[in-house]
Structure 1
Amino acid sequence: MIKQILYITCIAIVTTACSQNKPDKSKKAEVSTPTQQDVKLPAPFETKSVKNYSKVVGWPAGKTPVAPAGFTVSLFADSLKNPRNIYIAPNGDILVSEANTEMKGVKKIGAKIVGAAGSQNLGKSANRISIFRDADGDGKPEMQGVFLSDLNQPYGMLILGSSFYVANTDGLWKYDYKAGQTKIITPGKMIVSLPAGGYNNHWTRNIISNANGTKIYIAVGSGTNLADHGMDVEKRRANVLEINPDGSGERVYASGLRNPAGIAIQPGTGVLYTVVNERDELGDELVPDYLTSVKEGGFYGWPWAYFGQHEDPRLKVKRPDMVKKTITPDLSLGAHTASLGIAFYTGKKFPAKYDNGTFIGQHGSWNRSKLSGYKVGFVPFSNNKPGNAMEDFLTGFVANADKNEVYGRPVGVTIAKDGSLLVADDASNRIWRVSAK
């Protein structure tokens, strides 16, 4: 019983904001992302599973993350409270969801009580959406304020016509919206109830519409690391759900996705893509987070298999049928990187190599002996398919490996109307802006 409680407590700690870890202080020490052809997975438990947490020290005055030559990094906004996700309204307004894991000592799910101590994000979640307007695109917002408040751990945001949608951890809400309004003033309505939170605090619920706005996809992470409390707890979780804009017609679009926090529609093709935060406690190199296109009706392994048809040895109930049907994802993003943000580059200001490629926000690991993540990567696309490697794009988040210190942790990424890249750094309460010189 003591072992079980300790194990569950560990899971509850995991998602302070989804992951964290002890950082290295040099690029040389960082783990490079393997090419797809070179992905050779080690055996489970080939290395010991470790808990390796980082300490966020904040950014010194004048210091910023580092982008490649030809780009400028500037501070777009600060003094926020755990900015997690960024959404660009059709008129260019920038909406930022502010929320964090809420730890209250213990958590009850069904008949089970779970320890929930040790969270990095202490205190009550802000539970609001802020608005910024940078009409002239100079990187300095002329207006900012609270767009919508009194929410319940909001994350995903979406505008379709005269409706604004926000995905709280426990449900999808719909509000009346007029183009350019700076505050929601009419009451909303929950149109879809969702399973809230989880043992491992995969509380984020992301949303996006298909290319013509006739369907909405909802990303719901698993309730546990590995179905640790049975599949009943996992109903409607580890899935991408599909609904009509009025909330009707729910179905599972794709399943077996442990935590598909980042979702995006590929420009031109309309194909749904996701970045998935995979399972823990199998060793340093297992299991790789990944980028993949999402096939309608597709199954991606969780909890029975990982990165294709590799059976997870820890499950007592075996499902060879589920292992056999598992789809191998498109691209490994490295183990324990906490890949949570994704945005296709649709702007016109970056060099041509970035056109229609994806930026990926990696929040950083807690379950790896050396640094993993803590950066924004870029995956170039060719012929509408991802390349075979992710390259570093925005780095410098690691402060001092010897002291386990990081300046911040990137999460949500998006492309502003002016073509710049915006990056939510929830640990330092900032939004960074990357523009081409």
Structure 2
Amino acid sequence: MKYAPIIVATLTALTLLGGCKSPKNQEAANQDPDLVETQVASLTLPPPYATESVRNEGKAIGWEDGQLPKAPAGFKVEKFAAELEHPRWIYQAPNGDIFVAESNTKKSADRITLFRNGKSNAKTTFLADLNQPFGMLVLDNHFYVANTDGLMRFPYKEGQTQMTAKGENILDLPAGGYNNHWTRNLLASPDGSKIFISVGSASNVAEHGMDEEKRRANILTINPDGSGEEIYASGLRNPVGMAWVPGTNTLWTAVNERDKLGDDLVPDYLTSVKKGGFYGWPYSYYGQNVDPRREGEAPEMVKKAIVPDVPLGAHTASLGLAFYDKDKFPAKYRNGAFVGQHGSWNRSQLSGYKVVFVPFKDGKPSGEMEDFLTGFIANSEESKVYGRPVGVTVLADGSMLVADDDSGTIWRVSAE
């Protein structure tokens, strides 16, 4: 079957056009006052298989002494911590303590490292012997850790430097899978009454059947004691970063989309998340564009697939997400979104391997996506990279930390 190029109307920050509107997203806005409509642009997607599927993953060679990623003029980049074992995710507790999940697909350190009071020279092992830990959360005198196979809860006292209590597994989570989307992120609702959990798919496009995908490619919600599980949103292939737009109750997520359809399919994306919403996976992508590998399946699901808000480039592995809710960066960055792009493996030319920024105004995208932290690619022709940025965290002091897991480094970005 031949496929023509596809033009998708989508809420996006790439090229804003006046006068266009999206009925699907207007319907969402009518149901939820926080899901307000923005202007709409046209996103042109190539047909499936316009180019061949290529395996081309960046090979991390590490940073040379004195070498740093590059930020825009007016910012300073410095090394916050080094010689960590795959620092994947960063969480700052309300008291200023910084927790780092050191974990990996293989040979995982399986620990949480603490930087007391946010000081780089006050490093201790807070919690060990975990199972691919990722998301962390302090809520109601408890410390939560999302292992790949379950949510652990520990009694917690503010300021403690080591977890000595035995935790309890309050929720089993599906682990494993052919694509090994093992990360489980955590986010508390604004009022603290719910915990949101992101769970990626077990495969690329459900090629092993939907029985393998139960409770996956979803954002789940539970009560803080682990009860009351519900599917908040579905059809999200690998939602990792989750955050609330400052001043709203609107959930946003960064989603790592599917592979093997060519260099420029399918775009990863940043999107607002509607309760009960379905975002297409595995049957369609970027709204109602049918995946040829699932053609003819579940047309009723395809029909209700929601178009994401902001495309972030194909195969960029957009995983990290943080909204800038402080006042130290220049005004253009305030309330905007920073996205950590871990980098491609399924593209002939490397893509991602940087942190990008999407400006927001009044709770919605308001301008073009732009590069923010770059310089991670050492040699594109030889597919060599210095490192791979993942987790992005805005600190209470107004600076930002970026986890560069393949180089074992955490970078700090601050306004000069």
Compute the TM-score of the two structures, normalised by the length of structure 1.
0.85
Candidates 44, 52, 67, aligned match of 1:63: 67
Separation in structure 2 between the aligned mates of residue 35 and residue 260 of structure 1, nearest angstrom = 24
2:218 to 223, 236, 239: 239
State the secondary structure of the residue aligned to 1:427. Answer: helix
Corresponding pairs, count: 380
**Match for 1:133: what amino acid?**
R
- Looking at structure 2, the residues matched to 265 and 34 of structure 1 have their Cα atoms a distance apart, in angstroms, of 21
Which residue pairs with 1:368 in the alignment?
347
| Partner Cα distance (2:139, 2:198) in 1 | 18
Mapped pair 1:304 → 2:287: no
Q: Deviations over 1:195-218 (max 9, x none)?
A: 012211100000101101000000
Provide the C-alpha distance between the structure 1 equivalents of 2:77 and 2:361, rounded to a whole number of angstroms.
Answer: 27
Partner of 1:90: 94
- Distance across 2 between alignment mates of 1:53 and 1:142: 34
Please state how far the C-alpha of 1:317 moved relative to its aligned partner.
5.5
SS in 2 for 1:399: strand
Aligned to 2:409: 430
Matched, 1:47 2:47: no
Task: Please give the alpha-carbon distance, in whole angstroms, between the structure 2 residues aligned to 1:197 and 1:98.
Answer: 18
- Tell me, in whole angstroms, the C-alpha distance in 1 between the residues paired with 2:76 and 2:230: 43
Structure 1 residue 34 displacement after superposition: 4.7
Q: Which of 105, 111, 118 matches 1:128?
A: 111
| Residue 324 (structure 2) pairs with residue 345 (structure 1) | yes
Q: Is the 8 A contact 2:341 2:354 kept in 1?
A: yes
Pick the aligned partner of 1:75 from 71, 76, 79: 79
Give how far 1:387 is off: 2.7
Once residues 363 and 96 of structure 1 are traced to their aligned partners in structure 2, the CA distance between those partners, rounded to angstroms, is 17
Offset of residue 142 of structure 1: 3.6
Q: Any unmatched runs of 5+ in structure 1?
A: 1-32, 103-123
Question: Which secondary structure state, in structure 2, belongs to the residue aligned with residue 91 of structure 1?
Answer: coil
Q: TM-score, normalised by structure 2?
A: 0.90
Q: For the Cα contact (< 8 Å) 1:97–1:154, is it kept in 2?
A: yes
TM-superposed deviation, 1:407: 0.3
Gaps of 5+ in 2: 1-12, 17-40
Deviation at 1:70, TM superposition (A): 0.2
Which has the higher relative contact order, 1 or 2, with Cα contacts under 8 A spaced 6 or more apart? 1
Inter-partner Cα distance in structure 2 for 1:243 and 1:403 = 45
2:300 aligned partner, one-letter code: D
Q: Does 1:262 align with 2:241?
A: yes
Percent identity of paired positions between Structure 1 and Structure 2 = 64
Distance across 2 between alignment mates of 1:387 and 1:306:
24
Cα root mean square deviation, aligned: 1.2
Q: Which runs of 4+ in 1 moved over 4 A?
A: none
Kindly provide the amino acid, as one letter, of the partner of residue 115 in structure 2.
Answer: F
Residue type at the aligned position of 1:191: I
Q: Deviations over 1:148-169 (max 9, x none)?
A: 1000000000000200100000
Aligned to 1:9: none
CA drift at 1:52: 1.0
Q: Distance in 2 between matches of 1:163 and 1:357?
A: 30
SS in 1 for 2:371: strand
Q: Deviations over 1:360-386 (max 9, x none)?
A: 000000111112100000111012101
Distance 2:15 2:221 in 1: 32
